[in-house]
Structure 1
Amino acid sequence: MAVEIRLLGEVTAHVGGRPVDLGPARQRCVLAALAVDAGRVVPVERLVERVWGAAGPRRGSTALHSHVSRLRRALAGAADVVRRSGGYALLVDRPDAVDVHRFRALAARTGDVDALTGALALWRGEPLAGLTGPWVEAERDRLRQERLAAEHDLVDARLAAGQGAELVAELAARAAEHPLDERVAGQYLLALHRAGRTADALAHYRRHSARLADRLGIDPGAPLRELHQRLLAADPALAGAPARPARRVPRQLPAAPVHFTGRDAELAALTAAVDRGGAVVISAIAGAGGIGKTWLALHWAHRNLHRFPDGQLFVDLRGFSPDSEPMDPAVAVRGFLDTLGVEPGRVPVGLRDRVDLFRRLLAGRRVLVVLDNAADAAQVAPLLPADDSCTVVTTSRNRLSDLVTGHGARHLPLDVLSEDEAATLLTARLGDARVRAEPGAVAELVRLCGGFPLALGIVAARGRTEPHLPLAALAAELRELGLDALDDDPTAGLPTVLSWSRRALDAAHARAFALLGIAPGPDVGLPTAANLLGLPAERTGALLRGLEDASLLTRDARGRYRMHDLVRRYAADTARHGLTGAERDAALRRAVDFLVRTAVTADRLLAPYRTPIHLDDLVPGTRPEPLADQGAALAWLTAEHPSLLAAQRLAAERGWHRRVWQVAWALQTFHIRRAHLQDGVATWRAALTAAEHLDDPGARIGAHRSLGVFCANTGAHDEAVGHLREAVALAERTGDRAALSHAHHALARAWETRGDDRRALEHAELALGLFRELGNRDFEVDALNSVGWFEARLGEFERARAHCGAALELAREDGDEGMQAASSDSLGYIAHHSGRHAEALEHYGRATALFRANGDTHYLADCLDRLGRPHVVLGQRERARAVWREALELYLAQHREEDAERVRRQLAELGG
């Protein structure tokens, strides 16, 4: 039978897919000391030093021999530890049986994106977790450095494949973590440049140079200086992106569950069901949670990765979350589209269009889609691929009969573990010797847990943290809580087990457990948790690790913490009954204030031109997170977006109306930039309701205006105009000229989306007059171009030329390349429709160059479409054909089907 030894996380061994009992930490350390040199002889003296340190036991070789003998029995012939020439060697059937060697083999393929991604996917946390000692610390540090090098190599490989914008957020965080690393700095510069943010790249180079000079007294090295010069010279070779980027392979599966036990019949049934094709629903009988549905799905998925070479998608649909509604399918499919590489600006707004795009992207691909914790069939149906090359596995507490009857899904019921399986699970967690020593106590623990894996895992975690406590004592503690209800309702055991587990926590851990149960969002990062608890990050981290050790909390690959739904519901109950209302209120205010204040900081980095809002004094104990630049801001907002939405809901429930409004304001730029348009509508609806409770007319005006803008962008034209008219009326009644100017500017855009250029011009002219009156130069330029654009659309070309020409001059004075591009595009349109076609080519040429430089592919496509027309009039048919082909490719990539069809007709009429 094959053996697998894992060191990149907790040290474990699996034989034939089953975990084996490796005994105490010292014995696992012996295995690790041999496994890092698998196949090679390690001298006895070196092994003793690795395991016990320089001052090892007096009879170290005897102690070592004892551990080796027990390891041989544990590995059961699947691997062997042999004595050779003064040392021991671990013999395995293949070199990659040890994950460290498999990682190194994959990491050596430095230019291979898939290989490097696979290498990093082997990591399950801190290497050699649970072991201590000088050699362990040194080896752990070396492995960390190897992981960091592989991460750098993966970024290089992705950059070589033409990526850039996709890496900005990741590299922003890495640059903040490694501020003096010139390799990271160079990668970040290149990614920013390819994302159309060359100015940000140059600014980061200046900051990096200053940091090197300040801390080390040196200048950047030659490679980084050369890259800087190439950026200044706009070297076209730096674009590097192939015409059609390589198809992204998603790898979203969480880590495989540790110590998975039993379920042989269910695993076989799942394999058979998948072999027959279609979807599979894993559902618990009696609708019980904590029965191991997700564990089964993930364990099977990781054992069958070879079946899905085109990737794996995973989403927790939060169908039974105690603090939020089930996830909207539109949000879930949006997450899939992001993972599949669809740029934010190209994600369709409506659910139907998103689903169509999702299904086209998966057509013909062998992808596994795991839909975890589904509420009902209506939530799942839009997430089913249309192509039978894909496999869908759904877990739910409900049977989802409509999915079975309507979509041909196969139902796989899941019962509690049998007594033998439950005992095997405890054996894997607690060790064979300890279980064999107290069979009666083990049998009672199995009965008290009702066969629920979640309960068994918590009991085992308690046993592992107190290795000298007899299992009989653990069973007696549980029995004292009273479990008579188990005879009639096996699900009653879980809250009892949780109650028993909580009683074992000290006061600090118990308080942290309770407060985490009411934290906003589906998961929590360390900074948010520290603010929630009102403690320093170091102390908070220690408490979280303690709860993780007790199996009350899990941490994902991003370092974020979450609770199982049932555990969270219990934690929230303990907060309501075990903490005072004042203590809960103070903790939630700190968490919400932290999220709001940091989000405002992020927005100021993304949109420094926005007029700042007034912020109240921070709640005592709140420590907002500093953010270095736009990349760090985007990365933070992306990670905390679900928590910010949850914080707004929490603030609304508690009547914290100002915070509700501030969340919507702080997320506005992010929602626009990442095309979260429906979230923009939802947050501003909540903000408008909150604003009605505030003695602040400006808040109501801003809510109406912003909600109108998002409604217009999502096609709700009538509602958009209604909100914007209300914003105008309120601004006029209160005499708020600044708010009035922005409301008219927004109304012009709204009427443009309705196709009413005359009304759009009226509001653009009003906005222009107000911006000039207020001396608002930035928006005056935009309004000038808007007035000219609508005049041109109405055939008033001379007036249009004057307004757009003035906008261009002001934009040049201000160095605003975005407005230079927009006004040049307008002037090109005016010149073409005035019969000045050669002049139109000049304006359009300047606009397309600037749109390209800024990475604005949306407006670039429109500009190229218009550019082809003067080419045709001037007889330059090949040039027209070239720009229209590029416009067509961009429209198709952006899923703008009507625009694409129009360009197809133009190409057909052109001939050739």
Structure 2
Amino acid sequence: MEFRLLGSIEAHAGETPIDVGHARQRGVLAALLVDAGEVVRADQLVERVWGARPPQRAQSTLYSYLSRLRRALTTGSGQPLLRRRSGGYLLAIDRLAVDLHLFRHLCAQARSASDDDAASAMLGEALGLWRGTAFADLDTPYFNLQRDATDQERLAAELDRCDIRLRLGHHGELLAELLTRAEAYPLDERATGQFMLALFRSGRVADALAHYRLTRRRLSEELGSDPSMALQQLHERIIAGDPVLNAAGAPAPRARLLVEAPRQLPAPPAVFVGRAWEMAELDRVADTGDVLGIAVIGGTGGIGKTSLALHWAHRNIDRFPAGQLYVDLRGFDPAGNPVPASVALHGFLEALGVAPTEIPADLPSRTALYRSLVAGRRMLVLLDNANSTAQVEPLLPGSPDCMVLVTGRRQFAGLVTAFGARPLALDALPRSEGQELLVHHLGWHRAAREPEAAAALVAHCAGLPLATSIVAARARIQSGLPLAVLAEELGDRSARLDALDADDLNADLRAVFSSSYQALDPDLARMFGLLGDAPGPDISLSAVAELTGQSAARTRVALRRLTAAYLLQEHVAGRYRMHDLVHLYAAERCAHDQPAAVVGSARQRLASFYTGIALAADRLLSPQRTAITMDPARARPSGAPTDAAAAMAWFEAEHRCLLALHREVVEHGRHAEAWQLAWSLDTFQWRRGYLHERVAMLQAAIAATETLANRAALALNHRLLGRAYVPLGQHARALHHLRQATAGYEEAGDADGQAQTQLNLALAWEHVGDYRQALTHAAANLRIRAALGNPAREAEALNALGWYHARVQDYEEAARYCHRALALCREQGYREGEAYTSDSLGYIAYHSGRPAPALRHYLDALRLRRELGDTYEEADTLVHLGDVYRAVGRTADALSAWREALALYEEQHRARQAASVLDKLVEVRAGRVHEETA
């Protein structure tokens, strides 16, 4: 398939156009194509397609458009290209199948090509992709911004191609095009210079000079500025009849500047991708005008700070006709010490023409002379790999005509505060740009031969450009080595940093990280290592305090310092994470530098903290559960949530960390924590539909309780695992574990456990359609519950018995039990039971032919489930609600409810239920079409 954004929004399968719907639906497709191959969140799609004024049911409408696009965009084998992913939607296509991304790819190749003919051809091919105005017919702030940006990219490509064609001597055939562009962009000095040069070479010197005077007047009247130094020099050389300008192959005008200007920039990076936002920010800094423009490019080692600075500097060299100064300050150089400011100034003064014997000896005098020499000159000063504000400050010019780029592994708050520097913190490249970087290094053909291995290499490098470059270098040096071998080597996390060592200080990721680590004081180094050892993808402030045994205040300061050193990122307020490769290095340093006793104590503190809060939070979510025996120290840990909503939010934020902790405690044989964690997560995982994670944890919990010889806990975990197997359709396994639980509870004389197991057995038989057997177990549950004196559990039992009476169509008896259950739930404040019972009563009323009360009960159940955060049961309630809406003729409301249910089912990977809802949606749509046709 091919997709087109550079004009009207289109999709084609070969030569056949694909119907992608009306304008708004095409907008959804365009919003996905801009980030093809990346996950786009639903809220982002709504903002892109509707802007600040979405319709009332924007989410439902969006799901409808996505559903249609999913059906329209399928492979030859029928696989949909539009896929639901955690957090959003993914259009799984090759980015180069989209004309916008192909245009950018061709432009990047052309700009790195050494052959002018080839570069011109590639730019011509890129410009040939345009069919009109980009994102035609789409009018929202997002698409208008995209359109403006792509228009600028198109103009830049046109200008680049004209530069090349002027070098090739094609000035005559370019005159008409250059005249049109100069009139369209009267203040663009690059377009002006190209037109002047073509006129001069065509013998029209008077016209070239007249066009210069016109441009100078326009610049003065509209911008209050004079032409750039480059344009002024071209004007002077035309007046002088400079014969060099007449030569075919002479560079375009913006390349020739003053001979005496220093040119200290190192070569630009051979390969550079992405960073479009950062490049635009640097452009804005360069345009600050009457103040000294300073940009601070920060980030962890290997993130591409120097590459960005050099790439931008070379792309914008004409902005600085008086020259460019550069120094590597070696602030984090694994092979040496930071360069003193006085030494850096000595080099700058020599480059500015000061004889060595005339350079002052002291730092203040050198700084004063340096600032005097650069005053009034439009220069770029690139201070690479800086260590501190104190090192940088003496190197800052005093003139607003200059611009300063600083790179380093600090945040340089002093430069931001005192000099208004603009901070640019680099993050890892997104996967699509990481893929593009690898392909640029390896060549398209080699990457295409092993696409899966190439994708694995990109994933293992985790968006770190240096890591990608090291891997690509190894692949190029060992040209016969399959990429799959490299991918397998990097797939071993314990050896990944070894695989990213090319036996060269400039190509050794461990050495790069080491220079940052060595700059930390001992306490900070200890925290860094312990954070590397901590389980999970991120960590909260309070958890770090427990891990390190420090107060929250001291912990906050230390975290701020690690963040300032770009070894840590506060990705959301109060939560911190490391880049994956930095995390591996931190864990390595922890194992090497920290005593085993220190690490063991930290692990125990963190595990106790997580387990204690999890147990307390679960009590808030499900207070009617029979509590398990807790360590007194965990009864009310510091920082525990205080209500059910906070408990649900805590589980949501910490879920992946708790899963990682559970794997760790299982691996290290900490059996009590293993089963207690599984128990404490059970309610949350059920409500959120994390069914497979729930089963995995409970399987490990059974092994742990068997090891502990804790018969009561073993029976409990058999019951929980049996219940967890039920919604996964694994009936035999469910019955096996529930029978094991029954035997254990009977042996222990645990009536409460026996009752709950009877309820779970009823659920198991319900899922295979044997409602009579389910009714028998529900009745046994109520008999036991009635004697135990637990009103909440008795209400639960009453509802279950009523529900199963309803399933055997005994609606009168069902209603009697469920109304008793509802009254008891409300009396006890048992909201979860009230939600289940309201749902049961909705079912009973609907199947008894009473839609009005059915609607009321289902709406009550939906409200309660949303308050509880029970998205798993919410999906089912939405389906039932849609059925009632349809029965009473409220088709639009039915469709809305079903679409919401479908989104939840897809998010929870409940394929069977999702297919059932899709059938309902298709059926209603077909009925509507039939009615309209009739």
TM-score by length of 2: 0.49
Which one scores higher on RCO, CA 8 angstroms, separation ≥ 6?
Answer: 1
TM-score by length of 1: 0.50
